[in-house]
Amino acid sequence: AQSVTQLDSQVPVFEEAPVELRCNYSSSVSVYLFWYVQYPNQGLQLLLKYLSGSTLVKGINGFEAEFNKSQTSFHLRKPSVHISDTAEYFCAVSDYYNTDKLIFGTGTRLQVFP
Amino acid sequence: DAGVIQSPRHEVTEMGQEVTLRCKPISGHDYLFWYRQTMMRGLELLIYFNNNVPIDDSGMPEDRFSAKMPNASFSTLKIQPSEPRDSAVYFCASSLFLWGGPDKPQHFGDGTRLSIL
């Protein structure tokens, strides 16, 4: 079975600073990886996904993530954050043989301060 | 594209009452998912349907929970009787084919915030 660990429940950062949100996964088979963002009182929106190919994935709103198979990680980064990036971010995994289901991490709350 | 529509947005009711949450998926989507989000447990998949048929309900917490999808444009999640520990935000999501071959991610509704007193 797969599992996802988001190491930080909250990440405070000042506007225009870089940020990294950490995600580690566990699986005995090949996986697909995702980052979703949830703004207050809204549902989740897909930021980016890794299916195959290049390990560096670019998503919407200037975010990118790098798949590292040896470290079983899929950390999310942005070089310069905005106030509007304040939200909850979820890492999710789906295994290669059971792609119907997504397993979500517990989320990381990114708080951007002026 | 209207997106996934959930109703009600907020529900407050007393313990023991029946609660019905509703979801209208995006037209043409084959998969529908129900999730529950709490501070303690994060986002949990409760059940999902493919072409109106329940595929996996292993995440449904207990017999008090039931879900139906009578047609391709409507699904309900029912809790009877409700308990305070059921308080959470319940999300519905839909997708075309699987969760997301290229450009086919799960689309989430805005959720129903349920409070059981």
pLDDT tens, B53-68?
999 899 998 899 999 9
What count of other Cβ atoms lies within 10 Å of the Cβ of residue A113?
Answer: 11
Give me the pLDDT at residue A40, please. 87
- Are residues B111 and A43, on separate chains, in Cβ contact within 8 Å? yes
List Cα–Cα distances, B107 to A88, B63, B74, in angstroms: 16, 27, 15
List CB contacts (< 8 A) between A37 and chain B.
none
pLDDT tens, A39-76?
A: 988 889 999 999 888 899 999 999 999 999 999 999 99
Give me the pLDDT at residue A90, please. 95
Give me the pLDDT at residue B1, please. 62
Q: Residue B101: pLDDT band by 50, 70, 90 thresholds?
A: very low
Judge contact between A74 and A68, C-beta under 8 A. yes
Average pLDDT over residues B84-101: 82
Q: Is residue A89 less than 8 Å (CB to CB) from chain B?
A: no
- Are residues A49 and B110, on separate chains, in Cβ contact within 8 Å? no
Provide the chain A residues 25-54 that lie in CB contact (below 8 A) with chain B.
34, 41-46, 49, 51
Among A46, A49, A104, the residue with its CB nearest the CB of B42 is A104
pLDDT value at A96 more than 80: no
Host H or E run for residue B114: strand B112-116
Q: Which residue out of A102, A104, A106 would a mutagenesis test of the B interface target, given it has the greatest number of B Cβ atoms within 10 Å?
A: A102
Secondary structure, 3-state, chain A: CCEEECCCCEEEEECCCCEEECCEEECCCCEEEEEEEECCCCCEEEEEEECCCCCEEECHHHCEEEEECCCCEEEEEECCCCHHHCEEEEEEEEECCEEEEEEECCCEEEEEEC
- Are residues A43 and B43, on separate chains, in Cβ contact within 8 Å? no
Give me the pLDDT at residue A29, please. 80
pLDDT value at A112 more than 60: yes
Average pLDDT over residues A1-27: 93
Cα separation of A19 and A21, whole Å?
7
List Cα–Cα distances, A61 to A79, A105, A111, in angstroms: 11, 21, 16
Chain-wide mean pLDDT for chain B? Answer: 90
pLDDT value at B86 more than 90: yes
- Are residues A105 and B50, on separate chains, in Cβ contact within 8 Å? no
Q: Is residue A109 less than 8 Å (CB to CB) from chain B?
A: no
Give me the pLDDT at residue B76, please. 98
Side-chain-side CA neighbours of residue A26 (13 Å): 6
List CB contacts (< 8 A) between B44 and chain A.
104
Give me the pLDDT at residue B104, please. 59
Average pLDDT over residues A7-33: 93
Give me the pLDDT at residue A6, please. 94
